[in-house]
Chains A and B, each alone.
Chain A
């Protein structure tokens, strides 16, 4: 090696540069928010913005783990819905259950759903698109079958505190949960496991020949994504209570956020920080559109345009580099 070292600084820099467009997008959106609504940066309003973004950020972090190792998880929306409904049913049967216990049960159940998806994908070699699509049908069907079509029951205040309460009277718990989950995700991706997960997404063959337990790594990614979705369910249940629509569309929003962060479908590229920044950008975009008085309906149109544009920009850069003769891996995302 001929170069000098500058580990920490360099690492931060390189982590930031891999997703540069999303940081520019986020900065632009936050600036636009400040211009539209000068009060946006008052502490409690800004904190409540983060609070609203928290479930999507957590889902994006989980989805990132799955996408970066070359898979998809379409079941996260269903896990959110199922989580909220199951919590309500649990409280229906055991009104006095401690909130922590219920939360832990939800997390374990989410992890279990992820485990099943992971095992089917890795051992039976079913494309994860299909596995998690099937898991989505199964979970939604099972939940409504169980509840007879209309989920009822209510969540007690203790359980909902994580979603809508505040710590020390000013800091929303959701923000704290989001920060902790984010830090854990960053920590995970810096760890040996995280690095091998990235390598697996980049080249499954090379990873397996280096002794990586590829199937295990992927399955763990699914488990974590499932647990993240269950955590998001706790927050969503806290905000908005029990609803059959609680998680609808979250799977596509999470994937959108991750892709906005410059993470490439097919795996091996992108950082978890950028993926979470993608989630914040999406939330900032929705907020901005609201403030601009754009009808809630057109929100998704703008979302669609931005997603295509962002990915097209990223693709343009990559295709120029790719021509350098280092052929693309040919991996078709499926």
Chain B
């Protein structure tokens, strides 16, 4: 075994392998380009109607509108990457805002934050345990949790409850210069999740578990623990979204998460960002792109005063078309390497 140390650099230039992370045709780059294109298109269309799309206020509004969905979708990416799914996020948001607002009314802000995060962690843990321990399909398991939460909410609350003190509402309304504070919350959470998924052992194990659970297990990965942790991470992100929405609304609302359909919207944003629904491929950065595309579309329609219901139609078309494109990309890739 006295082989020469091969010249790695020379080979990585000529060999078949390249880092696949930043190819322009990859989904991540694709969705950011799409966001850019939608923005450009929106600008042209709005300008043609005599409007001005790229004003500071409008851009700020777009970014602000990204926050809640962004937080949920980033968390959703973690579970979907791991090969699972979370349909309970919408009701968890509602419950989170209620718990936050009520605790803030009677107690202090830090206690409320802790209470919301603890509640969310517990729900995530329950989801993870049901999926891994009881071997219930994630779709059904989290749908079940969603029903349970919904019953709890509807039994205890009929309308808005609690009150968020002005000190905490800063999170929802304050700006540093033109940039809303809440955007930093989103960026911070996304950065943490990016670091976890891309750079930590847990993240490597999440990709492995989502890609091929059996192979991951054979390689010594504790797949159950990984799935459970992913669910807890997701629910914590949902907790952050709930806190933000509570700050925005000034109170807890039973419809805070369900009216905007954060469950399905977050999944849509994740797949729009190029993460495979089956798990193992994709990532947080793509998801943020997906969220941005949805937010920009929304804004364009608002500027054009398009019927709000028509927006749904376009959203549906955009989501299907995007996933169809990814499916096609993957097929040609398979044909190339087969």
Contact = CB atoms under 8 A, between A and B. Distances in A.
Contacts of A300: 147-148, 150-151, 154
B108 interface: no
Interface of B: 83, 130, 134-137, 139-141, 143-156, 214, 264, 267-268, 271, 277-279, 307-317, 319-320, 323-324, 327-328, 331
B155 to A, nearest CB: 4
A177 interface: no
**Interface-centre pick from B141, B278, B309, B320 (highest chain A CB count, 10 A):** B320
A303 B147 contact: yes
A138 interface: yes
A301 interface: yes
Nearest to A328: B214
Query: SS class of chain A's interface: helix, strand, loop or mixed?
Result: helix
Nearest to A117: B320
B151 A299 contact: yes
A244 B312 CA distance: 15
A302 B155 CA distance: 12
Given A125-B331, A129-B277, A142 B313 contact: yes
Contacts of B328: 124-125
Contact of B267 (A133, A148, A295, A303): A133
A259 interface: yes
9 contacts: A125-B324, A137-B312, A265-B139, A304-B144, A304-B145, A304-B146, A308-B130, A312-B135, A333-B139
A67 B43 CA distance: 43
Interface in A215-258: 252, 255-256
Given A140-B309, A265-B139, A315-B135, A308 B144 contact: yes
Contacts of A312: 130, 134-136
A332 B84 CA distance: 10
B137 A265 contact: yes
Given A137-B313, A299-B151, 4 more contacts: A141-B309, A142-B309, A297-B153, A302-B151
Nearest to B268: A133
A305 B140 CA distance: 11
Contacts of A72: 139
A315 B130 CA distance: 11
A98 B130 CA distance: 51
B334 to A, nearest CB: 11
A126 B323 contact: yes
A120 B328 CA distance: 12
B320 A307 contact: no
B14 to A, nearest CB: 34
A135 interface: yes
B156 to A, nearest CB: 8
B310 A307 contact: no
Question: Which 5 A-B pairs have CB atoms at the shortest separation, nearest pair first?
Answer: A301-B151, A141-B312, A304-B147, A297-B154, A137-B316
The contact size tier of chain A is 35 or more
B136 A311 contact: yes
Contacts of B316: 133-138, 141
A333 to B, nearest CB: 6
Interface in A260-284: 264-266
A79 to B, nearest CB: 13
B155 A305 contact: no
A301 B91 CA distance: 12
A200 B324 CA distance: 22
Contacts of A319: 135
B144 A305 contact: yes
Contact of B134 (A127, A259, A315): A315
Given A129-B277, A133-B264, A141-B316, A124 B327 contact: yes
Interface string A130-155: 11011111101111110011000000
B151 to A, nearest CB: 3
A334 interface: yes
A137 B136 CA distance: 27
Contact of B140 (A131, A135, A307): A307
Nearest to A252: B143
Residue among B148, B264, B314 with most chain A CB within 10 A: B148
A38 interface: no
